[in-house]
Structure 1
């Protein structure tokens, strides 16, 4: 006897987030071009797509989302911008890219922290980047 196969369908947003976390640029681009997702949606994680991409440390994915209109100034549910996340997690290349696009160095989280407040002194390249941009 043959059984009918069951397929489980996930909402587009869930699948899209998964593609971002895996760094699957082809699928990320495909989803955006097919208008299956809106880039400014805040997911149940409390973050938007760009925040998720920053947390993976994948600069190419960040660039792709920005190319398709992701807002570099968008705050997550705690008031963190993508630049806050890049600084907190030590991604100097992503921070440099966001700053080059005009990301605010003065934006504050709900707790009143600026991106530079979140930099671990161990992240020398980030420390230097912020020293250079504030001079």
Structure 2
């Protein structure tokens, strides 16, 4: 065991000496400055709503982001807040006139999101979505409470 350890130490010492003598060791490496990633304002808005960062949401709205901006699936932030059962964000968005009738790429409204997830309390809060309301999407799915 001791002979093996001495052999490894000698081998490692030889590797270090070889590296120190090499041209690679003499090259000056200057680190590249970190590149900053900037996401589009609509992506920032979706992320801020998803994370319930209402101060950031307010700031982005003041910069002119459309409250009803949709992602590639047609989901608005109101759709996403309903999917996440995020009462605080839903309340904020509705108080700032988010479109409760916005449809995603499959014709679903925020109410459909509430209904499909069984979020009845949240659905009852959404204005114009009262007790016996029926909405029919492109798939003829009926959501009512």
**TM-score, normalised by the number of residues in structure 2:** 0.71
* Moved beyond 2 Å, runs of 4+: 1-5
- Residue 14 of structure 1: aligned partner: 43
> What count of residue pairs does the alignment treat as equivalent?
114
Once the two structures are superposed, the pairs formed by residues 25-104 of structure 1 within 5 Å of their partners are 25-35=54-64, 37-98=65-126, 101-103=127-129
- Per-residue CA distance 1:59-117 (angstroms, 9 max, x = gap): 1101111111101111111111111111111222210101xx1137221111101113x
1:124 counterpart residue number: none
TM-score (norm 1): 0.76
- Aligned counterpart, 2:33: 4
Structure 2: gaps spanning 5 or more residues:
1-29
Structure 1: state its 5+ residue gaps.
117-129, 131-135
Q: Shift in Å at residue 2 of structure 1?
A: 5.6
Q: Structure with the greater relative contact order (CA < 8 A, sep ≥ 6): 1 or 2?
A: 1
Q: Please identify the structure whose Cα radius of gyration is greater.
A: 2
Distance in 2, matches of 1:34 and 1:93, equals 32
Task: Give the RMSD, CA atoms, in angstroms.
Answer: 1.7
